[in-house]
Amino acid sequence: MKIAIVGAGIVGVTTAYELASDGHEVTVFEQRGAAAEEASFATAGLLAPLALNPWAIPGFGQALRIMGPHPTLRVAGGLSRANLTWLRRWRHVARNQSAPAAVLERLAQYSLTRIHTIATRHELDFEASSGRLVLLRSEQERAALQPALQVLRDAGVPLHEIDADAARVIEPGLSPEAPLAGAIHLPDAGAGNCRLFAQLLRQGTQGSGVHYAFNTRVDRISSNPTGLVVQGESELRRYDAVVLCAGMACAALLPAVGLRLPMTAVHGYSVSAPVRESTHAPCTSVVDIAQQISITRLGQRVRIAGGAEWAGPDAEHHTPTLQRLYRTLNDWFPGGAQLSSGLQIWRGARTMLPDGAPLLGATGLAGLWLNTGHGASGWGLACASARAVADLIAQREPEVNLDGLGMRRF
Ligand SMILES: Cc1cc2nc3c(=O)[nH]c(=O)nc-3n(C[C@H](O)[C@H](O)[C@H](O)COP(=O)(O)OP(=O)(O)OC[C@H]3O[C@@H](n4cnc5c(N)ncnc54)[C@H](O)[C@@H]3O)c2cc1C
């Protein structure tokens, strides 16, 4: 088939790879000049398991609070009616623990396996590491995590509840003064550089059935006839299928074909800093569950990520949130990173649906497919989502269960 993909973030690049592997002729339209320039640019790097990752699944981790002295979701410039409705739905899912957590966890495990298969096959060195500590400051935190731990156990994810001494053996750079009550050790948890993986995969697949049209914005999509209109053109370019992997922009493209999605962009931050003293830096990834902040070792850099805000796409960086990231890094790994120069500070959008799950598969309209809405887990789910959507387009049963991830739920 002749297939168009809109968007060359991690989701579009992996989807192109899988569709080309199935023998399709694929064109990826990307408005920016390179792959992974938007949400996939500087993610925290966390792969499976998902349940303990910041903002991955409603009801796990911190509750979404927009009021009070310590809001977990900062709101600047007022609350739109759409965001209020979204918030109510997220809270409802969180309260009832009705997110498809088990399905997501299995999808993430499948994704991790595929990432490593693809990386090995094409010799992609994407600064991968294995193992994670979820740091706990108190026994109450451990108790609050039990539902998430049960999801992980049910999914067969190896985990150990360990004390502070054992945690310090695994991550010797942890400050002896940090208030560590214990940790959850996830020995098989994955992490790696999302943008690097996307770029290496794009380079590797260039010319093998995938054509990338960069600096090419799609203005309109169409079903029946299936195709799209590129900025500056009036003619419809026709395809057998169009797959939307455009992140938050899907919300703007879909109304033209009569579809609306309850998506919102929850922005967050990451700071990447050169390693200063290797023995004081994390070896792999850690998550501060109370702060919903992660610290990940990516090659010779340390990346701290966190923060959640509704402040619009072009808001200025929020200094107190960035200070919180620096403080958390200093609490756990003082001296591990060089914060005086060579920093990369990034603000990016998590495209989130109110149940924390992505939208994968058919739209119900001829030839139009979706692979979007991955929220805080797009890197962790991309390779599995891509394979699953390619299977659905080929009318094959995907290897993983996709219950609750389709359009029908909306
Ligand atoms: C602070 C932070 C930390 C995160 N950490 C993690 C993590 O540790 N693990 C994890 O799994 N996930 C993480 N995420 C989430 C992850 O970043 C996203 O889920 C993922 O990058 C989404 O990928 P995507 O390809 O769908 O979107 P994007 O990367 O945004 O790609 C969409 C692409 O579509 C293009 N596009 C849009 N409209 C058009 C158009 N009309 N025409 C042409 N092109 C168009 C855009 O330019 C863009 O390149 C994090 C997010 C944030 C903000």
| 245 in contact with ligand 1, CB cutoff 6 A | yes
- Tens-digit pLDDT profile for residues 79-123: 999 999 999 999 999 999 999 999 999 999 999 999 999 999 999
- Using one digit for the tens of pLDDT, what is the confidence trace for 248-280? 999 999 999 999 999 999 999 999 999 999 999
pLDDT at position 204 is 84
Band of pLDDT at residue 68, cut at 50, 70 and 90: confident
Residues of the chain with CATH 3.50.50.60: 2-40+196-262+356-409
Q: Read off the pTM.
A: 0.97
| Range 305-333 average pLDDT | 96
Most informative mutation of 5, 38, 212 for ligand 1 (most atoms within 8 A of CB): 38
- Asked whether the predicted pLDDT for residue 353 surpasses 90, the reply is yes
Tokens 């600064």 locate to 127
* Structural fold of domain 74-99+127-190+263-352: D-Amino Acid Oxidase; Chain A, domain 2 (3.30.9)
Residue of minimum CA distance from atom 14 in ligand 1 = 376
- The string of DSSP codes covering 139-202 is HHHHHHTHHHHHHHHHTT---EEE-HHHHHHHSTTS-TTS---EEEEEEEEEE--HHHHHHHHH
Only one residue has tokens 């050790």, namely 185
Please, which pLDDT band fits residue 406 given cuts at 50, 70 and 90?
A: very high
Read off the pLDDT of each residue in 330-357 and give the average, rounded to a whole number: 96
The share of the chain scoring above pLDDT 90, in percent, equals 94
Stated as kind and residue range, the H or E segment containing 390 is helix 378-393
Q: How many CB atoms lie within 10 A of CB 164?
A: 16
Domain with CATH 3.30.9.10 in the chain: 74-99+127-190+263-352
User: Ligand 1 in contact with 39 (CB < 6 A)?
Assistant: yes
Residue 335 class from Cβ within 10 Å (0-12 exposed, 13-18 middle, 19+ buried)? middle
Centre of ligand 1 from the C-alpha of residue 237, in Å: 25
Bridge-based pairing of strands 241-244 and 2-6 is parallel
pLDDT for res 96: 94
Return the bridge partners of 244, or none: 6, 370
The average confidence (pLDDT) of the chain is: 96
Pocket test for ligand 1, best of 377, 381, 383, 385 (most atoms within 8 A of CB): 377
Tens of pLDDT along 188-238?
A: 999 999 999 999 999 987 778 899 999 999 999 999 999 999 999 999 999
Please tell me the residue having the least CA distance from ligand 1 atom 27.
247
pLDDT at 24: 97
Which pLDDT score is estimated for 63? 84
CA distance readout (Å), 207 to 33, 38, 212: 18, 24, 9
Ligand 1 centroid to Cα of residue 11, in Å, is 8
CATH topology of domain 2-40+196-262+356-409: FAD/NAD(P)-binding domain (3.50.50)
